[in-house]
């Protein structure tokens, strides 16, 4: 877990004798009903002081976060954002924090949705302040904050102070009346406020003319007035000082700081300059940097003297300088003591290292250009950065190092590869792994391998495990690149290197092997291997990843056409877990919903999606939004709402985050299928060209779904323009696809391919061959209860099914498909009585299904086991040609069975 610096959450207290600003306080109060208050002005305009005064007068609870450079890392930003909110509600966001630290954190929007749901149940209105937002220069953080603002619960009000306008939708918020703005023109002191400041804060008695001149010279700039007041304390002729003092802000600051420093004792001047390098100050740190003592006393004296020090906690242990004051002090330090700057940063780095703050120690080492020390500290900090998922911060550190400092450090090279892999920079990750491998390659030619005397090792345990780490990242790199042979090669190397008792490492490697087999289309090997890997991971106590593994195992079973086993996989996982607070639990219901959708039980499918969402909100771990949207889109398609389906598919595309699981059903192909159904063939053709799809392509499981979609496009073109080459290309590609799917025993694909073959031959008028293909499809599909695979094809499939029924092909199943397809009640097939009558026991069960009794209660009443009831129910559904209880009752009533 990322360590939290409590001083960043401290709400600054109003300064004593501060000038009251009722006109601005009133504007802030009036803006509280809006989403956002933006206080944007250059340094020195009293932004933070104004907010602290406003909050002190208000009654709303407040969460405060002072931002620093480190919060450009999205993980760190969200961690601190939640830490600030937890000052109001201690348990808020715990699930999101856990997800942030997981090996595969969900998309940011998913985590923010969970966080917003929790915020929405907080009682009473409150304020969140983000101070110094101009420090943020990371688009992922801007995007996260934009999402937060756009979905802000009504009881939360956001305040941002910044030197420059952030990359947020300000125009939209402004137009919608959701933005209150205070800018430099608003914050400037009026002449009356200048007079009040000088009389309250300094004791000077100036004439109205002098006050007006000072207000004009500083243009009401607050920090300029503060500096002017300090400078005047060293002048006998204040009027002359005011007349002489002019210029823009930068000149004023330079001039006034020079004036302030000139009149300070040497000890104070020395302290101010040498501690200007610090973002935060406390007594012992200042002592370490300056080489002096009594740092605490000096800081307290500076605060009493109004020397631009801001307390960061209510115990007066930590402070910071006003940012602008610190900048000018730093400039003076560089000008007067340039040879001391690096030394001061090195001292700060050592103090932070000794006091357990590695991030600050690394920062000061980098600024000091003490790259050797920085690299050593990074190597030691690498395991913690990996645990805390802070690859973005680690990557920034590494990119600040000269390459030679990394090149001779194999552990750091591998850490670099990890950070690059996590950021999707596969090529650069490969190069860093090569750098590390050279140090371990004892067979390489000396001219190719760096001399061993130059190798630097700080983390000896990390170096010992280097071959394992390299193999793991090589396997992951290969899997992400679609390189199946190397995924297998390196995963097996991990297994060779690790002892049997290392369940987590061996489980991860075994799971990667399973993913490689899955990507290659060898589904049975994939299922068995991946299941073994997940079992090892579970033995290591990593239940969250075990849940993710359950989803993958069920997906493999679906691809094999084994829908009942897939459902059993979900049900077994839920039975073991209950409705736990583990990440991924809500996704199990999404998977079950997809299975019910295929079996045309759309009501249950929808209820499961809603249950998934509700469970996610309750446990603060929402389902994978990408998969949820796809599942909901498929329901919309089945209901005939194609535009609604497209909207959800487009949303899913935006949410998709590439991981190591093979993306065998890309959303772009699902969108293309909707376009084909709508007759928008131009759009579908553009998709096929963009994907580089050709009928002559070499086939692979990874692109099987796309090639089947290409067949659908060719058939639609033939139907549109009757171009003979389209149908011939489609039939040829289908034959190749069928052979490949049969070889891989991918029954899910086999059924779809056979259905399309039937439709293709039907288009040619070859009904006998079409029915042969359809019969094979029905034989494969009937045991698993496939419905939508057929009925989604519309009128053409109805004609074929009716012809198949006349010829005696799987009559009950065909009747069920025709009813699901919406065949008219005038169809002779639909109006037939039951060919296979219900048994006496089945009639008993059917009558009880009509009551409010549930399955276990029916079993009790009939004094049989629940499994027996399930068997009878399944037989009833088959004989009635339905697939759920409600439909069975309705069909029985139509046939007057009661």
Using DSSP, state whether 162 is helix, strand or coil. strand
Residues 670 and 640 in one domain: no
In a domain, 491, yes or no: no
Do β-strands 126-131 and 156-162 pair in parallel, antiparallel, or remain unpaired? parallel
Supply the CATH number for residue 59's domain. 3.40.50.300
Give the distance from CA 289 to its chain's centroid: 40
For the chain, the domain total comes to 5
Residue 826 has a pLDDT of 42
In a domain, 136, yes or no: yes
Residue 824 has a pLDDT of 47
Helix (H) or strand (E) holding 242: helix 238-244
Question: What are the mean pLDDT values of the chain's consecutive 10-residue runs (898 residues total)?
Answer: 81 80 91 93 83 90 92 91 92 86 75 89 92 91 93 94 89 91 86 80 71 75 75 69 60 64 82 92 94 88 74 82 78 90 96 93 95 94 83 90 89 92 85 87 52 74 88 90 91 92 88 93 94 87 74 94 94 74 78 94 92 74 79 93 93 81 92 94 95 94 96 93 88 97 95 97 93 95 94 91 82 86 53 58 86 87 83 86 84 74
Give the whole-angstrom CA distance, residue 761 versus residue 650.
33
Using DSSP, state whether 142 is helix, strand or coil. helix
Tokens 């299928």 locate to 673
Dihedral sign of CA atoms 761, 767, 769, 775 in order: positive
In a domain, 871, yes or no: yes
Residues 27 and 129 in one domain: yes
Give the whole-angstrom CA distance, residue 155 versus residue 355.
40
Give the whole-angstrom CA distance, residue 554 versus residue 566.
5
> Token pair of 232, please?
């005047």
Residues 53 and 117 in one domain: yes
List phi, psi (to 5°) of 828. -60, -30
Contacts of 858 (CB under 8 A, 6+ apart): 845, 848, 849, 869
Tokens 């780095």 locate to 349
Give the whole-angstrom CA distance, residue 586 versus residue 589.
6
Give the whole-angstrom CA distance, residue 781 versus residue 386.
46
Give the whole-angstrom CA distance, residue 853 versus residue 160.
57
Give the whole-angstrom CA distance, residue 2 versus residue 557.
38
Give the whole-angstrom CA distance, residue 253 versus residue 216.
16
Residues 170 and 25 in one domain: yes
Domain hosting 217: range is 191-262
- Rounded to 5 degrees, what angle do the CA atoms 675, 681, 686 make? 95
Using DSSP, state whether 304 is helix, strand or coil. helix
In a domain, 268, yes or no: no
Residues 664 and 732 in one domain: yes
Residue 825 has a pLDDT of 41
DSSP for 36-63? EEEEE--TTS-HHHHHHHHHHH--S-EE
Please, are residues 46 and 222 in contact by the beta-carbon 8 Å criterion?
Answer: yes
DSSP designation for 458? S
Cα separation values, 877 from 319, 816, 873, 881, Å: 74, 9, 6, 6
Cβ neighbour number for residue 234 with a 10 Å cutoff: 12
Tokens 């306080």 locate to 25
Residue 251 has a pLDDT of 55
**Of 650, 678, 701, which marks where a domain is finished?**
650
Supply the CATH number for residue 881's domain. 1.10.10.10
Residue 502, phi-psi category: left (phi > 0), alpha (psi -120 to 50), beta (remainder) = beta
Residues 643 and 763 in one domain: no
Residues 815 and 723 in one domain: yes
Burial class (CB in 10 A: 0-12, 13-18, 19+), 110: buried
DSSP designation for 281? B
Percent helix, strand and coil across the chain, each to the nearest 5: 70, 5, 30
Give the whole-angstrom CA distance, residue 673 versus residue 687.
10
Give the whole-angstrom CA distance, residue 168 versus residue 136.
12
Residue 404 has a pLDDT of 85
Residues 181 and 197 in one domain: no
List phi, psi (to 5°) of 10. -80, 130
DSSP designation for 340? G
Residues 54 and 148 in one domain: yes
Nearest to 762 by CA among 751, 774, 752: 774
Put simply, whether the predicted model's pTM sits higher than 0.75 gets the answer: no
Residues 858 and 778 in one domain: no
In a domain, 421, yes or no: no
Cβ neighbour number for residue 411 with a 10 Å cutoff: 25
Using DSSP, state whether 750 is helix, strand or coil. helix
**Of 623, 650, 677, which marks where a domain is finished?**
650
The 8 Å CB, 24+ separation contacts for 56-59 are 56/13, 56/14, 57/25, 58/29, 58/127
> Token pair of 133, please?
């937002």
The 8 Å CB, 24+ separation contacts for 79-87 are 79/1, 79/2, 79/4, 80/2, 80/4, 80/8, 80/9, 82/115, 83/4, 83/9, 84/9, 84/128, 85/115, 85/119, 85/128, 87/9, 87/63
Residue 830 has a pLDDT of 45
In a domain, 592, yes or no: yes
Locate all alpha helices (DSSP H) within 341-409, ordered by sequence: 341-354, 358-367, 371-387, 391-399, 403-407
Please, are residues 508 and 533 in contact by the beta-carbon 8 Å criterion?
Answer: yes
Give the whole-angstrom CA distance, residue 552 versus residue 530.
8
Give the whole-angstrom CA distance, residue 82 versus residue 861.
53
In a domain, 126, yes or no: yes
> Token pair of 737, please?
């696809």
Supply the CATH number for residue 615's domain. 1.25.40.10
Burial class (CB in 10 A: 0-12, 13-18, 19+), 692: exposed
Residues 674 and 806 in one domain: yes
Burial class (CB in 10 A: 0-12, 13-18, 19+), 741: buried
**Of 187, 203, 233, which marks where a domain is finished?**
187
Cα separation values, 339 from 274, 325, 557, 602, Å: 12, 21, 68, 74
| Number of residues that this document lists for the chain | 898
In a domain, 698, yes or no: yes
Residues 626 and 722 in one domain: no
Please, are residues 521 and 704 in contact by the beta-carbon 8 Å criterion?
Answer: yes
Give the whole-angstrom CA distance, residue 248 versus residue 219.
9
């Amino acid at each position: 877990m990322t360590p939290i610096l409590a001083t960043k959450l401290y709400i600054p207290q109003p300064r004593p004798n501060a000038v009251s600003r009722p006109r601005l306080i009133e504007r802030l109060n009036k803006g509280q009903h809006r989403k956002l208050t933006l206080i944007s002005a250059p340094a020195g305009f009293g932004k933070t002081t104004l907010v602290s005064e406003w909050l002190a007068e208000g009654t709303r609870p407040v969460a405060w976060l002072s931002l620093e450079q480190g919060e450009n890392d999205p993980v760190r930003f969200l961690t601190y954002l939640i830490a600030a909110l937890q000052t109001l509600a201690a348990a808020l966001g715990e699930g999101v924090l856990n997800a942030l630290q997981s090996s595969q954190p969900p998309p940011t929007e998913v985590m923010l949705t969970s966080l917003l749901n929790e915020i929405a149940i907080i009682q009473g209105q409150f304020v969140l302040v983000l101070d110094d937002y101009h420090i943020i220069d990371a688009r992922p953080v801007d995007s996260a904050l934009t999402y937060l603002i756009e979905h802000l619960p009504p009881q939360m009000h956001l305040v941002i102070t910044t030197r420059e306008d952030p990359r947020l939708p300000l125009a939209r918020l402004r137009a919608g009346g959701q933005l209150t703005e205070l800018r430099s023109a608003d914050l400037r002191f009026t002449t009356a406020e200048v007079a009040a400041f000088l009389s309250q804060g300094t004791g000077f008695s100036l004439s109205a003319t002098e006050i007006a001149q000072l207000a004009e010279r500083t243009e009401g700039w607050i920090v300029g007035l503060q500096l002017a007041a300090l400078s005047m304390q060293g002048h006998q002729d204040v009027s002359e000082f005011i007349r002489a003092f002019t210029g823009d802000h930068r000149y004023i600051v330079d001039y006034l700081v020079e004036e302030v420093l000139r009149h300070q004792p040497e000890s104070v001047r020395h302290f101010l300059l040498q501690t200007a390098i610090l973002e935060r100050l406390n007594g012992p740190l200042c002592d370490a940097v300056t080489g002096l003592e009594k740092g605490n006393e000096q800081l307290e004296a500076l605060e009493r003297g109004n020397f631009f020090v801001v307390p960061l906690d209510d115990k007066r242990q930590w402070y910071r300088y006003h940012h602008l004051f610190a900048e000018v002090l730093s400039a003076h330090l560089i000008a007067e003591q340039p040879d001391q700057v690096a030394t001061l940063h090195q001292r700060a780095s050592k103090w932070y290292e000794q006091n357990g703050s590695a991030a600050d120690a690394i920062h000061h080492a980098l600024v000091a250009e003490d790259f050797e020390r920085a690299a050593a500290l990074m190597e030691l900090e690498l395991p913690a950065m990996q645990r805390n998922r802070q690859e973005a911060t680690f990557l920034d550190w590494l990119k600040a190092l000269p390459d030679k400092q990394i090149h001779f450090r194999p552990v750091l090279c591998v850490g670099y590869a990890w950070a690059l892999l996590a950021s999707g920079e596969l090529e650069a990750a490969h190069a860093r792994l090569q750098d590390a491998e050279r140090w371990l390659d004892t067979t390489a030619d000396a001219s190719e391998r760096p001399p061993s005397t130059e190798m630097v090792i700080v983390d000896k345990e990390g170096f010992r495990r280097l071959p394992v780490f390299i193999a793991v990242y090589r396997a992951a790199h290969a899997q992400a690149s679609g390189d199946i042979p190397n995924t297998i090669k390196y995963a097996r190397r991990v297994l060779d290197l690790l002892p049997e008792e290392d369940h987590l490492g061996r489980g991860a490697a075994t799971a990667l092997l399973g993913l490689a087999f899955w990507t290659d289309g060898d589904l049975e090997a994939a299922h068995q291997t991946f299941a073994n890997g997940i079992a090892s991971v579970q033995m290591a106590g990593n239940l969250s990843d075990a849940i993710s593994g359950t989803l993958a195992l069920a997906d493999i079973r679906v691809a094999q056409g084994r829908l009942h086993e897939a459902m059993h996989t979900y049900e077994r996982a839920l039975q073991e877990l209950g409705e736990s607070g583990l990440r991924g639990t809500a996704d199990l219901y999404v998977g079950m919903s997809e299975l019910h959708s295929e079996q045309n039980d759309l009501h249950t499918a929808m209820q499961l999606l809603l249950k998934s969402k509700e469970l996610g909100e309750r446990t603060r771990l929402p389902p994978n939004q990408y998969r949820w949207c796809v599942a909901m889109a498929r329901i919309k398609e089945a209901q005939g709402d194609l535009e609604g389906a497209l909207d959800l598919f487009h949303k899913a595309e935006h949410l998709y985050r590439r991981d190591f699981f093979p993306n065998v059903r890309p959303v772009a192909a699902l969108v293309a299928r909707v376009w084909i159904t709508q007759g928008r063939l131009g759009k579908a053709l553009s998709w096929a060209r963009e994907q580089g799809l050709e009928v002559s392509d070499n086939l692979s499981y990874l692109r099987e779904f796309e090639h089947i979609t290409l067949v659908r496009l060719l058939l639609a073109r033939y139907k549109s323009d009757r171009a003979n080459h389209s149908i011939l290309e489609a039939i040829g590609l289908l034959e190749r696809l069928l052979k490949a799917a049969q070889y891989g025993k991918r029954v899910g694909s086999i059924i779809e391919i056979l259905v399309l073959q039937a439709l293709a031959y039907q288009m040619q008028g070859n009904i006998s061959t079409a029915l042969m293909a359809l019969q094979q499809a029905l034989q494969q599909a009937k045991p698993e209860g496939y419905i939508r695979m057929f009925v989604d094809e519309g009128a053409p499939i109805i004609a074929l099914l009716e012809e198949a029924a006349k010829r005696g092909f799987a009559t009950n199943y065909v009747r069920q498909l025709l009813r699901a397809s919406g065949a008219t009640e005038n169809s002779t097939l639909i109006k037939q009585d039951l060919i296979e009558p219900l048994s006496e026991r089945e009639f008993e069960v059917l009558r009880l299904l009509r009551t409010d009794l549930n399955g276990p209660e029916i079993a009790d009443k009939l004094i049989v086991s629940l499994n027996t009831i399930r068997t009878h129910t399944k037989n009833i559904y088959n004989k009635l040609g339905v697939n759920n209880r409600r439909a069975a009752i309705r069909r029985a009533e139509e046939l007057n069975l009661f």
